[in-house]
Amino acid sequence: MPCDRVSLPRTSIGTDRFVTVHRFGRPGARPKAYIQAGLHADEMPSVLVAHHLCRQLGAADAEGRIIGEIVLLPLANPIGLDQTLMAKPLGRFTLADGRNFNRDFPDLAALAAPRLSGRLTGQPEADVPVVREALLRAMADWSANGEADDLRKLLLTLAIDADIVLDLHCDSVAPVHLYLGTPLWPDAEDLARDIGAQATLLAEESGGMPFDEACSTPWWRLPARLPDAANLPPACLAATVEYRGMADVDDELAQADAGRLVRFLTRRGVVDGDPGPLPPLPAPATPLAGVDMIRAPVAGLVVFTVSLGDRVSAGQVIGEIIDPAAADPAHARTVVRTRADGTVWSLASHAWQYPGNILAKVASPEPLPDKGAFLLTAR
């Protein structure tokens, strides 16, 4: 089980950063899977899953059961890990410029298209390797602008030629759930089933270019740019996997989650073995544009009247915000309602909320009006 420490370019005198990269199987073998955790460096449930996954893949590798190639980064963001304020990690945004570590990856379709003009045959088995090579070369030529971009370049270079890319995260208070590109569904339903996703949220593009979409969207953006690319398949199953909420750091849960990932990799032919029968789909896939993000209208103490997994109807009360400083306690509560029918799949973890903060998320089967181009929240 080779393990590399890949250094980031030095940006400050006396400071060095590196990313630990574990490799399993044989370099260049197919299928290739790339898995990372901790891109949002304060999301520890995903890091614990990656820790257990590293142990399980190491055991499989020692037994000669890795058929393809697996690249695993248990801690993908040393920059965010180093950011603390009063002993609390601040790993979601870079303090240098306020950008989200999981946004602003380059549009590699735009960068690779000139390299591919006139080179594609219309035969997927011949064209997919050519596209992967062009994506790697485009990534090599992309100019990073600062430390966070150096990290983006390293991660995307390791991942862009993979058949499977899994970016492990967590939410505030939530069950296991999954973000996927719409063109990958229903082929990726085995991933949702194997990991036990209680919500699967689909979008062709969510806006802001997060890591998983930087890997997957070139495969449907290139056909829009190049007539010869019309027959390109979605050759990279890239997904963001959310492992419950911030407080769900539990060895038994993480070990089981890692085992489910190994089962999926086995089903996909990356690991040798019998994955067993495909588990049932816990919940149907729904559009990311159908997520009702319920925001706090006022500041105060939030109390919920719903729980994760509850079915709600449009206009239903999901909680109240209390103003403890109100002159009259009888008028201290502001009712919060949903605007969509659907299933509650995320709740805020902090009891005190400010106006505009997201209190809850409801997965609706139909897109909501006025969602705009940015379907994810930076916060």
What distance, in Å, lies between the first and last C-alpha atoms of the chain? 37
What residues have CB less than 8 Å from 140, skipping those under 6 apart? Answer: 157
| pLDDT classification of 307: cutoffs 50, 70, 90 | very high
Q: What is the pLDDT of residue 75?
A: 98
Token pair belonging to 282: 């816990």
- pLDDT band at 167, cuts 50/70/90? very high
At a CB cut-off of 8 Å and minimum separation 6, what does 129 contact? none
For residues 140 and 124, what is the distance between their CA atoms, to the nearest angstrom?
A: 24
Q: Which two tokens stand for residue 108?
A: 């590699």
Structure tokens at 284: 């149907």
Residue 375: is its pLDDT beyond 90?
A: no
Q: Residue 33 contacts by C-beta under 8 Å, 6 or more apart in sequence? A: 68, 69, 70, 71, 162, 163, 164, 165, 166, 265, 268, 270
Q: What angle do CA 255, 76, 158 make, to 5 degrees?
A: 105
Return the structure tokens found at 201: 């949220």
Residues 374, 291, 186, 100, CA torsion sign: positive
- Find where tokens 């011949």 sit: 126
**pLDDT confidence tier of residue 374, bands split at 50, 70 and 90:** confident
The whole-number pLDDT of residue 370 equals 84
Q: How confident is the model at residue 365 (pLDDT cuts 50, 70, 90)?
A: very high
Instruction: Assess whether pLDDT exceeds 80 at residue 379.
Output: no
CB neighbourhood size of 268 (10 A): 19
Confirm whether pTM is higher than 0.75: yes
- In terms of pLDDT, which residue wins out, 117 or 35? 35
Residue 53, pLDDT above cutoff 80: yes
- The percent of residues above 90 in pLDDT, for the chain, comes to 94
| pLDDT of 11 | 85
Query: Is residue 378 pLDDT above 70, yes or no?
Result: no
Provide mean pLDDT across the span 131-148.
96
- The per-residue DSSP string of 313-372 comes to -TT-EEEEEE-TT-SSGGG-EEEEE-SS-EEEEEE-S-SEE-TT-EEEEEE-SSPPTT--
d(CA 360, CA 351): 12
Residue 46 scores a pLDDT above 70: yes
Closest CA to 210 of 376, 53, 29, 11: 376
Q: Counting Cβ atoms within 10 Å, is residue 301 exposed (0-12), middle (13-18) or buried (19+)?
A: middle
Closest CA to 167 of 84, 49, 280: 49
**Token pair listed for 264:** 């999926």
pLDDT (tens digit, 9 = 90+) per residue, 81-104? Answer: 999 999 888 999 999 999 999 999
pLDDT in tens, 221-247: 999 999 999 999 999 999 999 999 999
Tokens of 375: 């379907």
pLDDT of residue 8: 94
- For the stretch 23-43, pLDDT in tens is 999 999 999 999 999 999 999
Asked if residue 377 has pLDDT above 90, the reply is no
* pLDDT band at residue 10 under the 50/70/90 scheme: confident
The answer for residues whose C-beta is within 8 angstroms of residue 224's C-beta and 6 or more apart is: none
Q: What is the pLDDT of residue 47?
A: 98
Q: Which domains are seen in the chain, by residue range?
A: 3-283 (3.40.630.10), 288-363 (2.40.50.100)
